[in-house]
Structure 1
Amino acid sequence: MTALSRARRRLYWPFVAPATLIYVAFFVGPAIASIWISLHKWRGAGDEMDFTGAANYKRLLEDDAFKDSFANSLKILVICGVFIFALAFLMTIVLREMKSRKTVRALLFFPYIVSPVAIGVGLGLLLDPSGVVNGVLEPVGLNRSWLAPDHIFATILIGIIWVTTGFYVTLLMAGQERIPAYFYEDATLAGANRWRQFWHVTLPMSWDIVTVAAVLWVINSLKIFEFIYAFTGTGDSPPSEARTIPIYQFLMTTGGRNPAYALGYGCAMGVVMIALVTVLVVGLRRVMRREAVHF
């Protein structure tokens, strides 16, 4: 071993240890604590924890409200994911040769950087039965009860797609812009249209960015909370048609007008979410695994 290698080994832990300690204290530690609490019945600080084993997980299987929330979370993951990536791919094709693409990309990205609470409250006011949208659509007979139980979840899906698409457009365009221009020039000379250029040049050569974007969407979609909670109003609690796992977990612990304070039950939901995200991310990375394209 050379002197340089020994010096590097001596410096390894002084640099890595602080970050490792922070990660264990604020991520690994709370995760382990959540698993332990999920095996108990507990109302929070000051109350004694009663060990109940897997009772909280059995309750999840029998709780129709949790099943509906779980289904809504999966609908957001799948339905919004399909539309977001379809729109992002389409915008990538359209914007590649547009002169003002940076301006358009900034406008698309803007809703993502605004507070989800502000976006949710603003859309809720616009789509209120007496709001601006219905005021504009009423003369032509297209006004709707956007916030009614039959329509509210579809409205939420549209709102999530609108807010989120710009972020993934920005990611995909960042991957596209690093591809050398001569690949597109060769494809143009070969007679490939924009769609074929995207399919045979852009997508294969930015596949690593697409994979990262897909993983980020899986994680972000399952923890959407602020937008839905603000959009549906916080007077009491979001209606059952609009609840996702994070919202139901919030209501069953310390949230809403009448909190349930079932912290053990809430932790069981958190453990299920962690397991779900882990399975989906690992499966997605295996499905999307490709050999790296060097250029």
Structure 2
Amino acid sequence: MKISKIYSNHKDFKNITFNLKGLNVIYADVKSTLSEKKNSHALGKTKLTHLIDFLLLKEVNKTSFLISHKSKFINHTFYLELYLNSSQYLTIKRTVQANTKISFKLQDQTTNNYTPPTNWDYKDIPIKTSKTILSKFLSFDFFHNKQYTYRKSINYSLRTQDDFKDVYKLNKFTGGRDINWKPFMFDLLGFNGELLRLKYDNDAKIEEIKALIGSYKMDYGVNVQERDEIIAEKSILENEYKDVETQIDKFNFYNQDKK
């Protein structure tokens, strides 16, 4: 799969056609003077990755620039054209205003002059269902029989500057649980990530059991030493009970009555 085009219905958006046979670079030719404080930063490189992520069906909230500046993008409709491994072109339509409704169109040819399709194969589909549809279109073998989808790999492809601090662990996972990223990375490196996931699940269950035992100790005020004393006392009582029971069984009421 390759990104073929990104375009919009809004005239102020600079439509983009990607080179499918080579490398694509965002290049800045800075012509301003140093005193103008303009340079190759703040060109929108990161914003472009966020837009691609949005069009690959990331669920957004107010932290997204499209939502935090919704008044500026309220009338924008964005289109992402993908060149699939099947040699077909898939167009994904997503608006900012109704960003949970997605449309798809599969075509044998690329669109001309950034003109979006008029008839959609899937129209205004809820985002959760749309992710499943897109997964089927992408048809990546790697994600078959996995507990995650293509979305898991998106951030590894669309890295921010902070994501390069650790090759394997993205910045978003800092301070989080290893189970959220290590099993995926294990799979990606050719190992069985499911084994690692099960290991983390078992670790979590062990901690839950330990916490439950701790709560019982707090509730009933029983420590290890007291528990052992209770068990010993219980054993003594059981032995005494057995002795009494044996003596009763040995006592013959019939013979005593004959005397």
Query: Is TM > 0.5 for Structure 1 vs Structure 2?
Result: no
The structure, 1 or 2, with the larger RCO (C-alpha pairs under 8 Å, 6+ apart) is: 1
Greater helix share, structure number: 1
Bigger Rg, which one: 2
**TM-score, structure 2 as length reference:** 0.26
